[in-house]
Homo-oligomer: A and B are copies of this chain.
Amino acid sequence: MDIEQAFGIVLKKYRLERSISQENLAFGAGLDRTYISLLERGKRRPTVNTLFAISKVLNVKPYKLIEDIENLVYINQD
């Protein structure tokens, strides 16, 4: 699996766990609603700064998101 796909899956997982809409996540992170949609569908390769902004709203540490992404990219096949 490639990195942007994994990012999208992890992002969506945390967002849904917290019952936040794409729109509210976008607002909190200073991003656009449609951009969150693009990220979740693996259509964009976010910068590290964007990762940090999103992490803050999701109340999860950036390294934890990256760790989950690594697990999808390098280990798990699910």
Q: A63-B63, A66-B62 are in contact. Are A45 and B49 (CB under 8 A)?
A: yes
CA distance A62 to B48 in the complex (A): 11
CB neighbours of A52 from chain B (8 A): 3, 73
Contact A67 B63 (CB under 8 A): yes
The binding surface of chain A is classed by DSSP as helix
A26 to B21 CA separation, bound complex (whole angstroms): 39
Q: Are B49 and A48 in contact (CB under 8 A)?
A: no
Inter-chain contacts of A73 with B (CB < 8 A) = 52
Which of A3, A46, A69 lies at the interface centre, i.e. has the most chain B CB atoms within 10 A of its CB?
A3
Q: Which residues of B contact A3 (CB under 8 A)?
A: 48-49, 52
User: Chain A residues in contact with chain B, CB under 8 A?
Assistant: 3-4, 7, 45-49, 51-52, 61-64, 66-67, 69-70, 73
